[in-house]
Chains A and B, each alone.
Chain A
Amino acid sequence: MDSNSTFEGDFHGFNGTSFNGTYGNSTNGNGTFTGAEDKVETIPISFYTPVLYAVILVVSLVLFSRHYKQQRLRQLAEQPDIFDEHDAEELYREIKEMSQTQKVHEKVLKAALLNRGAEAIRRTLKLKELGPQIELMYKSGTIGEDYWERFKAETKVVEAEFRDSIQEAEALQPGWPKLFATLCQEICFNQALSRRYHSILARKEVCIKEWDLQLNSDGTLKK
């Protein structure tokens, strides 16, 4: 029964709420211990043991959560954007950088900013249009959680982008932002139209290839 006694000793210690005290009296625990009780050994436990335990627990949890958060952030940062390219924004930043060292006409800078604003509006519209569909797909398990996270992040990024463009507009010419927003919207729609118009020729080429079409020199279909 030697092996038992150490466990019973521990058991007692907690019941008597004394960690390093002595507890010769066997009746303060459960009462009806018999014979073997008298042989109980006492194991001195330092006062710092529970403190150490708590410290180790808390520190390990804190370390884990910090590590987890950092990993999560890194993963989010590593993920590609929803949109493939950021030409409009990059163009504006480059021109602005250039304007600090050399003379750039104000209109060039404004045009680049308008282009950037129009792109931001296009993205806002696109995300708004796709939002319910992406949410539905996420809920039905067609796309994973990270794409959903990316989508939510992108929505905020696009908003910030547009706000930033407006601030830049204010900085370029005070009082401009009001006109700037409507102008951007018009440019956005115009760009959409011109994209479609300019793609007609390219579409034609693809269709000729796809359907083995034979054309006359004037562009009509060969009969």
Chain B
Amino acid sequence: MALNYDYDESSETWPFFLLTVLLMAVLPLTLLQLRALFSSDSDSNNSSSAEESELSSLSKKYTPPATADFAAKFQHKGTSVLLSLRSLLCLVGWLAIAFLVQRISASGISGSMSGAGAFDPYEILGISSSASDRDIKSAYRKLSLKFHPDKLPKDLTEAAKTAMEEAFVQISKAYEALTDEAVKENYLKYGHPDGPQTTSHGIALPSLLIDSRASLVLVVLYIASFVVILPYFVAQWWNRSKMYTRGGLHVKTAARFASCLVNYKPSQVVTVDMIVHWLSRAEEFRILFPGHEPLYFENLLQDYLHGRDSGSAKENEARLRCVAKCHTLLHGMLEVCCGFRNLEIAIATLDTFKCIVQGVPMSRDAQIMQLPNVDAAAFHEGKVDDICTLGKLFTYDNDKIGKILGIKDADKLKDTLDVAAAIPHLQLLRADFVVPGEEYVTPLSTPYIAIKVLVRSAMHRVIPTDKFPAEMLAEPQDFEHMKNPFASMEKQPVLPTSYAPRFPVPRRNAWMCLLALQKDVRILQTPYKLERLSLANMHNHLDKRTVAKLGPDFDPHQWEVASIRMPLGQQAPQEVGAVHMRVVIKATDYFGADLDLTMTMDVREPPRVDEVRDDIYADDSDDGDDSEADGESDDEDSDEEYTDIDTDTDAED
């Protein structure tokens, strides 16, 4: 078979090629763009209608003007540029596609190419493909009589004559293809009675690119793209992917944080100042503002925490940019802390998180200081009764609170109280280690931690656990839940945006759940981030100043008991016994919303197999198998007492 490579002299194929390539690029891009468009739509809908909580509007109200300007400047610009550039690419792509389609349809070659080379002897002879030899012969004879050059009428034009002759040639070829052995073989093998035809392979490049002068350019382009450009971009991509850790931290930052933890001496007290000092060594800050030492960033962060002016407007903006980076950095640092299993530093890191988000220094009074309008001097001056928690604050009536916090204006006081009442607190109701489908934790089983909490406001009266019926605090026992205990957590609503007016980026609160062994106070696993929790209880009315005591009219079903289910990273130990653990649930945004509890995992032997079998017998059989069961239980002494219990229950039933 002859091979013949044709360049695209008449520009027939390369538009197809180009069209394919374009579609491959433009279609996914457009789909992505559309999805981004719709998801951002639904996001803004969510936050504007359903989730625009009181708190976030208050947060906006109390945002300092400089911070608001900063947020408007950086957030808006970032998204819109991205959107428009991509949309422009999409648009250009689709225009090019439209042009190509138009060009292809105008040249009108798409249909004519496919049928040209086909040769079907049956069709030419006008018979079905199952025709017998005799039918073939008779059909051929009939047609050849009609088209034979000798039999043609004399008055035909030259063109018609050649068409007739051509038809006759076709007919005889078709006849031969069906009768002559050699020709038939050719037809079967190559699809044509004359044997192999020349095949032409088109290369979708216009010939002007291959001409002697241009071919050099093409070769250079080819080499450049595969030897220089492609490796360059792959290297870029690879370096960038190596530059940041999985948590989005610059590797140098991660390394410095790790260094801090390695060089940390246990004799030091871990304070927020120390964490801020470590934080200031982050590479991200140096990328933002090259040429500055960590001390500069540390001062900026400390200025931010203490509400001091950093000097110039430029430095104040730099400060906000640094602060806006901090939540990623602190999450990264928390990850490193958990990697080194250091609980003390992890807790201090989360305290620093709150300080940075709220823009207040760490102190005993931080819970009060996170509220708006609080006059710190007046608060410290007229300190009565050592108030430092919101719960304590709400034991006083509103006017007294105004006096304590030094707020004179009634509207401002209302805002302050609204914020104080809307900060979600967690009240522990119950905490268990649960193995799905088991009554208790058995050796080497995989339990999870189920913590029942009541989300409440500091204003609410504390509701004792025994006010809730047991079924509200029990884990569901249905099959769906046992299959995946954590699925129901995903159905909870996302936490609303926090009250964090000084933080330049909108924040959503989250609770980080740390798990540590009591034995060595070491963190056991990576922190679990709780981002979804229903805050429905916050709107309930149970003001501790008006409701003196929970009366008989208290209805626990008005309250929603939230479940925090944490997967446990490892199996229960092999040995029977108690393992003491400490669970620390710390909010990232609010002071006072934390929970710190100890839990004991009581590992017990599973029920013995014999015992289980006895159960089955006891359930299934009334009298017949009794002797058998007795015979078995005789083998082991310890089992006897259990069979006794079984029969007892049977008797009761």
User: Do A and B truly interact?
Assistant: yes
Which of A's residues lie within 8 Å of B, judged by CB? 2-4, 6, 30, 32-34, 80, 82-84, 126, 130, 133-134, 136-137, 140-147, 150, 195-196, 198-199, 202-203, 206-207, 210-212
- A residues near B259, Cβ cutoff 8 Å: 80, 82, 84
Assess the B251–A144 pair: CB atoms within 8 A: yes
Complex CA distance for A16 and B546, rounded to whole angstroms: 103
Does B633 belong to the interface (CB within 8 Å)?
no
Would A206 and B341 be within 8 Å (CB), given that A3-B210, A32-B2 are in contact?
no
The segment out of B140-148, B264-272, B398-406 that lies at the interface is: B264-272
- A residues near B211, Cβ cutoff 8 Å: 3
Assess the A142–B207 pair: CB atoms within 8 A: no
Complex CA distance for A211 and B242, rounded to whole angstroms: 42
Which of B's residues lie within 8 Å of A, judged by CB? 1-3, 5, 7, 198, 207, 210-212, 215, 242-243, 245-247, 251-252, 254-255, 258-259, 262-263, 265-269, 271, 335-336, 339-341, 362-364, 526
Given contacts A33-B2, A82-B262, 14 further A-B contacts (CB under 8 A): A84-B259, A84-B263, A126-B262, A133-B339, A136-B339, A142-B336, A143-B339, A144-B252, A195-B267, A199-B265, A206-B271, A207-B269, A210-B269, A211-B364
Would A144 and B269 be within 8 Å (CB), given that A32-B2, A82-B262, A83-B262 are in contact?
no
- The smallest C-beta distance from B385 to any residue of chain A, in angstroms, reads 14
Complex CA distance for A211 and B2, rounded to whole angstroms: 93
- B residues near A4, Cβ cutoff 8 Å: 5, 7
Assess the A30–B3 pair: CB atoms within 8 A: yes
Assess the B207–A145 pair: CB atoms within 8 A: no
Assess the A195–B335 pair: CB atoms within 8 A: no
- B residues near A140, Cβ cutoff 8 Å: 246, 339, 526
The 10 closest A-B pairs by CB, nearest first: A144-B251, A141-B246, A199-B267, A137-B339, A147-B255, A206-B269, A143-B254, A84-B263, A196-B267, A142-B335
- B residues near A196, Cβ cutoff 8 Å: 266-267
Contact of B269 among A6, A30, A203 (CB under 8 A): A203
Contact of B247 among A32, A142, A195 (CB under 8 A): A142
- The smallest C-beta distance from B402 to any residue of chain A, in angstroms, reads 24
Complex CA distance for A203 and B269, rounded to whole angstroms: 6
Complex CA distance for A63 and B265, rounded to whole angstroms: 46
For A127, give the chain B residue with the smallest CB separation. Answer: B262
- The smallest C-beta distance from A60 to any residue of chain B, in angstroms, reads 10
Assess the B271–A134 pair: CB atoms within 8 A: no
Assess the A134–B258 pair: CB atoms within 8 A: yes
For A140, give the chain B residue with the smallest CB separation. Answer: B246
- The smallest C-beta distance from A114 to any residue of chain B, in angstroms, reads 21
Complex CA distance for A103 and B249, rounded to whole angstroms: 53
Assess the A142–B251 pair: CB atoms within 8 A: no
Assess the A142–B245 pair: CB atoms within 8 A: yes
Complex CA distance for A133 and B335, rounded to whole angstroms: 12
The A interface is mostly helix, strand or loop, or mixed, namely helix
Complex CA distance for A181 and B215, rounded to whole angstroms: 74
- B residues near A211, Cβ cutoff 8 Å: 364
- The smallest C-beta distance from B90 to any residue of chain A, in angstroms, reads 33
Complex CA distance for A83 and B260, rounded to whole angstroms: 9
- A residues near B362, Cβ cutoff 8 Å: 210
Would A143 and B269 be within 8 Å (CB), given that A3-B207, A83-B263, A212-B364 are in contact?
no
Complex CA distance for A132 and B207, rounded to whole angstroms: 63
Assess the A212–B267 pair: CB atoms within 8 A: no
- The smallest C-beta distance from B274 to any residue of chain A, in angstroms, reads 9
- B residues near A145, Cβ cutoff 8 Å: 242, 251
For A212, give the chain B residue with the smallest CB separation. Answer: B364
Most chain B beta carbons < 10 A, residue from A2, A33, A133, A203: A133
Contact of A3 among B7, B254, B262 (CB under 8 A): B7
Assess the A147–B258 pair: CB atoms within 8 A: yes
Would A130 and B251 be within 8 Å (CB), given that A136-B339, A140-B246 are in contact?
no
Complex CA distance for A142 and B212, rounded to whole angstroms: 55
Assess the B262–A133 pair: CB atoms within 8 A: no
Assess the B263–A142 pair: CB atoms within 8 A: no
Most chain A beta carbons < 10 A, residue from B245, B251, B265, B364: B245
Contact of A146 among B246, B251, B363, B526 (CB under 8 A): B251
Contact of A142 among B7, B243, B246, B271 (CB under 8 A): B246
- The smallest C-beta distance from B312 to any residue of chain A, in angstroms, reads 30
- B residues near A34, Cβ cutoff 8 Å: 2, 198
Assess the A144–B2 pair: CB atoms within 8 A: no
Complex CA distance for A213 and B252, rounded to whole angstroms: 38
Q: What would 26 A/B residue contacts be, using CB atoms closer than 8 Å?
A: A3-B7, A6-B212, A32-B1, A34-B2, A80-B259, A126-B262, A130-B262, A134-B258, A137-B339, A140-B246, A140-B526, A141-B245, A142-B245, A143-B245, A143-B255, A144-B254, A144-B255, A146-B255, A150-B255, A195-B265, A198-B267, A202-B267, A203-B268, A203-B269, A210-B271, A210-B362
- The smallest C-beta distance from A22 to any residue of chain B, in angstroms, reads 22
- B residues near A82, Cβ cutoff 8 Å: 259, 262
- The smallest C-beta distance from A98 to any residue of chain B, in angstroms, reads 28
- The smallest C-beta distance from A211 to any residue of chain B, in angstroms, reads 6
- B residues near A146, Cβ cutoff 8 Å: 251, 255
- The smallest C-beta distance from A124 to any residue of chain B, in angstroms, reads 13
- A residues near B364, Cβ cutoff 8 Å: 211-212
Complex CA distance for A203 and B198, rounded to whole angstroms: 92
- The smallest C-beta distance from B338 to any residue of chain A, in angstroms, reads 8
Complex CA distance for A33 and B198, rounded to whole angstroms: 11
